[in-house]
Structure 1
Amino acid sequence: MPIPTTTRRKVIAKALPVVSPYFAGRKQELELMKSHLVEGTGSGQKVFTITGMGGSGKTQMVSYFLQETNRDRKLFTHVVFVDASSESTLRADLQLWAQSLGPTHEEDDWENALHILASEFTNGSWILVYDNADNPKLKMRKYFPACQNGAIILTSRSRVVGSLQNTSYLELGNLNPKDALAALEKAAHRQIPNPSKEMDDARILMEKLGYLPLALVHAGAYCHQQSSERDDKVYHFTFSRYLDLFDKRREALLRKTDMFTQEDYERGVYATLDLSYEVLQEASKQFLRIISHFHYSDIPLAMFRAAAQVGFEDPEIYLLRPEDKKGLSLLTDLLCTNGEPDEFQLLELIRDLHSFSLVSPSEDSLRMHPLVQAWARDMKSTDTENYEGISTRVVSSCSRDGNLHIYRYLLPHIKGWLAKKEGDDLHINDKVAFGKILDEIGHYALAETLFRKAIA
């Protein structure tokens, strides 16, 4: 028997991550995907998109869908999983898949992969998953097989990718409280008695984490790893202790990356959000840092319009703010053109942040996920901007008679600043302006407190 002169190494294509043991819920989302990708009667190639903020579990959703619908590969004979975070990884993974088909494909490249899907697997029993298609400069349609069969799923932080769908579009949000608790319990390897103080603390923790799957799993896993067993007794690291640690060392906890070997959970919560920040426009980054110092719910757009109308100037000056000149310049650059309010610029900032699920806009307000707010506040930077001071100035400049209709929307934001050292760090101009707003909407005791602090 002749000895082969060369030994060919079998090429193995990238595989879809397995469903995490901590995965919970998403039944409605699964049914939506099944109705369009499995039960849909329309002919032609099906394109389905899943978008959502970092940490919402988009890749896991795809894995869950295929686990539940493609057992023994009866629905999709070929599952092609591609890292679409860059053009180079996308092409490399397509090439790897093509070469994994056997010795006759060892010279294939990414174009061959698309050709094979389009012309050789004409029965349509394939699904192509483009994961993390976040780069807005990457033209994804170029990488769709040119045929009328098969299915494509794209996952992305960018809502712009949603427009590529021709079946349906899934915006993956946070877990509901029941499923969030299930994820937390699975990751913590415990079942929480109900009612109990531990259950009360778990509910507080879930709310602070905004029911975000990645954050819940990281919190539960941390509590599990910090727990111990001695003399056949388990000593749980309680959620109460985690909450205390979260309040004191939030950034350190949310940047931890060493708790998992599973790829989907290897990044910390903050590191996942950093990926979205990197692709934002510079102006959007600045705007995000400013709005993070408002209360995360119901940030009124009318407030920015009213403040821009007066050039963000204090209604009354009791003490000059020469140190805030740079912040004032930043606000006018962001929201004005030639000294006049620019609605288009405001809407463009919101569009950019919304496209990566960093804010949720309605017709008249913005909402931030509490962890997005925390991450933006905790962010390290080399600039010297006082973003909190800039945000308080926006509200102060609204303290004018013509703005009475928006005063009640400013209340949660003012209360948020007063909760920190009872407002002692506020500039005197802000104390008086906030006092006038509070007085007008009937919060007389708070208003009096601020007026007294202003003249102290």
Structure 2
Amino acid sequence: MQDESKGLRGRVKEFLKSSSLRDEIAGYQTQIQGVCSKLKLTAIVETNFKVDEIHAIVTAPSFAVVKAAQNINNCPPPSRIFQGRQAILDKMHQFFNTDSGEQHIYVLYGLGGAGKTQIALKFIEQSSFSNVFFVDTSKVETIDTGLKGIAVTKSVGNSAQDTLRWLESNHNKWLVFFDNADDPKINLNDFLPKCNHGNIIITSRNPELRSYGAPTLVSDMEEADATTLLLQRANKEPSEENLKLATEIVKELYYLPLAIIQAGAFISKSEDLGGYLALYHSNRARLLSEKAAQSHDDYAQTVFTTWQISFNQLSHLAATLLQLCSFLHYTGISEDMFSTASKYEPRSWSPPREELEKPLQFLSRFVDPTGEWNSLKFLAVTNEIKAYSLISFDTKTKLFSIHPLVHAWSRSTLLDEELLQSCMSSILGMCITEIPYNEIELASVQLIPHIVLLKGVNPDGGADFRNAFWNIYHNAGKFQDAQGIAQQVVEKSRLLLGEDHRNTLLAMGDLAQTYWGLGEFQKAKELGVLVWEKRTKLLGEDHPDTLFAMGDLASTYSRLGEFQKAKELEVLVLEKYTKILGEDHPDTLSAMGNLAHTYSDLGQFQKAKQLEVLVLEKRTKLLGEDHPHTLLAMGNLASTYSDLGELQKAKELGVLVLEKRTKLLGEDHPHTLLAMGNLASTYSDLGELQKAKELGVLVLEKRTKILGEDHPVTLLAMETLAITYSNLEEFQKAMELEVLVLEKRTKILGVDHPDTLRAMANLAVTHYTLGDLNKALGLEVEVLQKRRQLLGDKHPDTILAMENLEATYQELSQQEEMEELEQLIEDTKKLLL
């Protein structure tokens, strides 16, 4: 009776499930596959059938291709214009083809629009799994629906748990593709089959899902693949011109696949490949938000809308932090910038806390009631942003970065751009104010990209932290920018506080330092003298501000060739600093290093060496060997070793300084270029001329680009390279540079400056080598006369000038002049013994 109650349809179903029928079906499968093989067709048939499926197989014509198992549960094919990603695909194939005896789980994670889904679909298309199931993992509801669908399709039940049980018991080569597992609130582990077999691919924006299996970060495409993809989507031939234009476009799009697809779609419609970049620069937000009418895949979002979806999931605090970071450079963002700012205490020259309500309110969200910065609170917020790959973190450098296009997009989300820009500007100013003096140089390298971008948006935004920003510009070698700020501060201070106010004098001292950095030494001297006189009168000669002014003025005297004046001031400054601050204080060591430099200028190299060895020992002990001040001492000692002819020691130190400065400061920083130029000079002296030439050319190119060809250090680079050309016997190249250096130094520094006289002497040597003896003679007579007058007969440079002139007299057979000069050289050297 029970059997009859099942009805005919029920009894048929039972019969169809019998083992004998399954065997018969297997036989049909073999026959069908054999026919298809003969026809060079592939028939992929599932091992479990519903009634309708059997009917389809039995009644289908023998040449029909049976629907692939991989299309079960609507797993779509990859884009028809899929390009590249071969390294990731190879890695996936290797992973899934390795018999590890446990479940294979592969996680593709990264920014929305990076192409994670397409890579997974391409891999599936290239593979041969017995069953492939696609699950939309964006919501709990879609996961549940997807898993239920598998149960129904496989006739194993009608719930997600039925599917998981079936997968756990099924040892065939199945694969489940969990796509778009982006919501960090979903615990994906609840939906994974608990077994030691089977295959799973997960795509997600959330890096935390890396822990589920073998992870690969999906980021930007290779340039060649990106260019091909753009041209394919744009329906453009890969001609030489089109490839060049496409390369520029994909660079501007930072090789992000979805952005490239959108650009190609727009170009396909406009048919103007060459005009796209101009439109993009003025309409970026619109172009990256525009969905093409025709597409090559099922992805429904544009670049900007796909990130907006993630942004909408962020808390208000996380969204605000991301928006604030859109005013910084997209790399090198640190927690320290915010934590240091939270410690802000106003100075006499910085804004009061009353003017900083908004930034202080924001920072207070990461501060404990005790006033201490809470890194755990900051970590929770950054982790929230990282969960959508809108920001990334480098565990080695401890720095955050944002994809450049996300960085641009996040600015487009602002409702009150001026308020947020002002807030970020103030946070940076507060941070700089709290950085200790001996750390400011290194900090300037890290902060300058942020300040340049921030001030490019709105130069006057935020509270008045111009003094702080001047400090960063100056220490980063951005002297033109520093000059503009320093002049503004001086004018404002004079107007509000008066000529003699301490803050006005501090601003004037900053401006004098900026003139020094720009090579405008006469301006620096005039302002430096004024500041020193006023500080001495108002504060006394032992006040730190007065001593600082004396030290700055002494350095200016040195650059102007007034070495004796420089020495007198520096000896006094060193004595006072040692007495007041002690010999280990940073200001004392700076004074010691400055005096040593002047001793070198005066030719007193042994005195310079003694001081420089002491400074280096103390700075290494107090600051460590990687600190910029330690490296400055190391570089100065290397130069003195070179002056003393201890070239191997000079080379060893010079190589070390260059390596460390390049790593710490970057290869374009003034101190790095100084180290590079000094090492090039040492290589030249050692006869390693090719090394000297390569470094010398690089230094000259960078200094010309950064500072201009009239800057003193650019001219020094020209001079050093010219010497190397002479040593390589490329005398014409040497002479061209030397003539240029002499012309510029005469115009800028005057004919009596030591640097001008050195340029004159170098050119005279080249004329001598080329046989232009009369030209050499004229220059050498003038050099000797001026050096005797300025430096005295005992100075090494004066003696060198005597010896050069003597050699020229000999070549010209001017015996009487030669013998007279020879006697003078001999007498002078006796006095030095």
TM class, shorter-chain normalised?
A: 0.7 to 0.9
Give the letter for the 2:89 counterpart: L
Give the letter for the 2:446 counterpart: Y
Query: 2:318 matched to 1:284?
Result: yes
Give the letter for the 1:343 counterpart: S
Q: Once the two structures are superposed, what CA deviation does each residue of 1:22-75 show, in whole Å capped at 9, x if it has no partner?
A: 3211111011111111x21211222221111100111111111111222xxxxx
Pick from 74, 79, 84: which aligns with 2:132? 79
Secondary structure of the 1:14 match is: helix
Is the CA contact 1:258–1:266 (under 8 Å) kept in the aligned structure 2? no
Identity rate of aligned residues, in percent? 25
Query: 2:108 matched to 1:50?
Result: yes
Q: CA deviation at 1:371?
A: 0.9
Pick from 427, 430, 453: which aligns with 1:416? 453
Q: Once the two structures are superposed, what CA deviation does each residue of 1:288-327 show, in whole Å capped at 9, x if it has no partner?
A: 111111011222443223222226x6883369874x5223
Q: Which has the higher contact order (CA 8 A, sep 6+)?
A: 1
Q: How many Å separate the matches in 2 of 1:276 and 1:345?
A: 21
- Which position in structure 2 is the counterpart of 1:244? 278
Pick from 197, 210, 228: which aligns with 2:254? 210
- Which position in structure 1 is the counterpart of 2:94? 35
Query: 2:371 matched to 1:339?
Result: yes
Secondary structure of the 2:82 match is: coil
Is the CA contact 1:49–1:154 (under 8 Å) kept in the aligned structure 2? yes
Query: 2:350 matched to 1:317?
Result: yes
Is the CA contact 1:315–1:396 (under 8 Å) kept in the aligned structure 2? no
Segment drifting more, 396-405 vs 134-143: 396-405
Is the CA contact 2:81–2:296 (under 8 Å) kept in the aligned structure 1? no
Is the CA contact 2:326–2:407 (under 8 Å) kept in the aligned structure 1? yes
Larger strand share, 1 or 2: 1
Query: 2:119 matched to 1:61?
Result: yes
Instruction: Check 1:289–1:185 CA distance in 2 against 1; reply closer, same or farther (3 A cut).
Output: same
Is the CA contact 1:303–1:406 (under 8 Å) kept in the aligned structure 2? no
Q: CA deviation at 1:265?
A: 3.2
Query: 2:480 matched to 1:438?
Result: no
Is the CA contact 1:118–1:147 (under 8 Å) kept in the aligned structure 2? yes
- Which position in structure 2 is the counterpart of 1:254? 288
Is the CA contact 1:53–1:356 (under 8 Å) kept in the aligned structure 2? yes
Query: 2:421 matched to 1:388?
Result: yes
Secondary structure of the 2:342 match is: helix
Secondary structure of the 1:340 match is: coil
Unpaired runs of 5+ residues, structure 2, are 1-8, 10-49, 54-70, 493-833
Instruction: Check 1:384–1:212 CA distance in 2 against 1; reply closer, same or farther (3 A cut).
Output: closer
Q: How many Å separate the matches in 2 of 1:59 and 1:340?
A: 44
Instruction: Check 1:139–1:361 CA distance in 2 against 1; reply closer, same or farther (3 A cut).
Output: closer
Is the CA contact 2:249–2:277 (under 8 Å) kept in the aligned structure 1? yes
Give the letter for the 2:139 counterpart: S
Is the CA contact 2:366–2:373 (under 8 Å) kept in the aligned structure 1? no
Tell me the matched-pair count: 420
Q: How many Å separate the matches in 1 of 2:209 and 2:220?
A: 19
Q: How many Å separate the matches in 2 of 1:450 and 1:191?
A: 51
Instruction: Check 1:315–1:184 CA distance in 2 against 1; reply closer, same or farther (3 A cut).
Output: farther
Q: How many Å separate the matches in 2 of 1:221 and 1:273?
A: 20
Is the CA contact 2:80–2:296 (under 8 Å) kept in the aligned structure 1? no
Give the letter for the 1:94 counterpart: L
Greater Cα radius of gyration, structure 1 or 2: 2
Query: 2:185 matched to 1:126?
Result: no
Q: How many Å separate the matches in 1 of 2:389 and 2:233?
A: 25
Q: How many Å separate the matches in 2 of 1:26 and 1:360?
A: 21
Unpaired runs of 5+ residues, structure 1, are 71-75, 228-236
Q: How many Å separate the matches in 2 of 1:171 and 1:306?
A: 32
Instruction: Check 1:138–1:320 CA distance in 2 against 1; reply closer, same or farther (3 A cut).
Output: closer
Segment drifting more, 443-452 vs 302-311: 302-311
Give the letter for the 1:36 counterpart: F
Q: CA deviation at 1:360?
A: 2.2
CA RMSD of aligned residues (A): 2.8
Is the CA contact 2:318–2:385 (under 8 Å) kept in the aligned structure 1? yes
TM-score normalised per structure 2: 0.47
Q: How many Å separate the matches in 2 of 1:244 and 1:337?
A: 52
Q: How many Å separate the matches in 1 of 2:283 and 2:347?
A: 35
Is the CA contact 2:182–2:206 (under 8 Å) kept in the aligned structure 1? yes
Q: CA deviation at 1:19?
A: 1.4
Aligned 1:173-184 pairs, distance under 5 A:
173-184=219-230
Q: How many Å separate the matches in 2 of 1:156 and 1:369?
A: 17
Q: Once the two structures are superposed, what CA deviation does each residue of 1:84-126 show, in whole Å capped at 9, x if it has no partner?
A: 111111111122232233xx56x6222222222222x32x311
TM-score normalised per structure 1: 0.84
Q: How many Å separate the matches in 2 of 1:259 and 1:9?
A: 40
Give the letter for the 2:251 counterpart: E
Is the CA contact 1:51–1:162 (under 8 Å) kept in the aligned structure 2? yes
